[in-house]
Amino acid sequence: MTIRLAGILVGIGITAVLVLWSMVPGVINLVSGPPVEKPAYYAFKEKPHAPEGGFSFAGPVGKWDYAQLQRGYSVYKQVCSACHGLKFVAFRNLEELGYSEEQVRAEAATWNVPGIDPNTGEAVMRPALPTDYFPNPYPNNVAAAAANNNAIPPDLSLMTKARKDGSNYVYSLMSGYVDPDPEKLAAAQEKGFETPTGLYFNPWFANVNLAMPPQLYEGSITYDDGTDATVDQMAQDVAAFLTWTAEPSMIKRKQTGWAVILFLLFATGLAYMSYKQIWAGMKSKKK
């Protein structure tokens, strides 16, 4: 027993020494090296934030707001789809938003996807089927860059998973086109900051200069359910929709997690009662 304990302690000690030794170069650089000055745009950067009241799917007991998801799809179709695709989402998946099979079939037919003429073998565009995936608006990256000032619009299927605090990031970004604070701007300009022609200031973007111009304007689309299409509302809705495209099984996963927790609690209680029952009449014996 003593030898085993000593071996464990020695192992822990060696591990601790190795960890501390690996930190030595970083500590030396931190102490002796010159301070690293942050880029000028850091003065403007903002952290993503949730909309007032938060999202319905947030938290351990969150749920999808299907009306919001359908509105978010409308925003994507009428605004975002001009430049961004959803290559990992099939039209049939829209049934998960509350649409019927007939509605999904009709909706898919409003989109065109690449196809092959069965008679000539030539490439053609055809109405989409529920089994098709959302198309990319550009045939290739070269065409995408040529149409967007050399910036390639990313696919949005997994955007909220590709960005930290993704849902809040999309909401903040889409509703965050503002003019920079004059005092901060003057100080940053002294350090060389500028927003080049063709880029747009947005404090929630990585370097605050974004190639995408503002996309959401008051009343720019019409919601089928009569909801006012304010910039804030559209930003919330499209952020919720893109959260669903990235994590369509999120709510089921949360529900499964709660079921597992309840089962483990029950199993733990059952095991404890069994333990008490089996060993109730036993007395510990000292050797």
pLDDT per residue as tens digits for the range 261-272: 999 999 998 888
273 marked as part of a ligand binding site: no
Q: What is the CATH number of the domain that holds 223?
A: 1.10.760.10
Rounded Cα distance between 98 and 86, Å, is 19
268 belongs to a structural domain? no
The whole-number pLDDT of residue 25 equals 64
Structural domain that includes position 180? 40-89+156-252
Residue 211 belongs to some domain of the structure: yes
Residue 83 is assigned to a ligand binding site: yes
Please give the tally of structural domains in the chain.
1
Give the pairing of strands 112-116 and 200-201: unpaired
- Residue 136 burial by Cβ neighbours in a 10 Å radius (0-12, 13-18, 19+): buried
Does 49 appear as a known binding residue? Answer: no
Is residue 168 included in any domain, yes or no?
yes
pLDDT, mean of residues 218-247: 96
- Assign 2 a pLDDT band (cuts: 50, 70, 90): low
- Stretch 93-113: mean pLDDT, rounded? 97
Asked, for residue 269, whether it belongs to a domain, the answer is no
In a domain, 17, yes or no: no
199 within domain boundaries: yes
Query: Which of 42-46, 94-98, 193-197, 278-282 ranks highest by mean pLDDT?
Result: 94-98
Report if residue 173 sits inside a domain: yes
Task: Enter the DSSP assignment of 180.
Answer: P
pLDDT score at 89: 98
Q: Say what the alpha-carbon torsion angle 143, 144, 145, 151 is, to the nearest 10 degrees.
A: 180
Contact indicator for 78, 71 with CB cutoff of 8 Å:
no
Using the 8-state DSSP alphabet, how is residue 40 labeled? G
**DSSP label of 140:** S
Decide if pLDDT at 34 tops 90.
no
Determine the Cα–Cα distance for residues 239 and 7; give it in Å rounded to an integer.
53
Identify whether 194 is part of a domain. yes
159 known ligand binder:
no
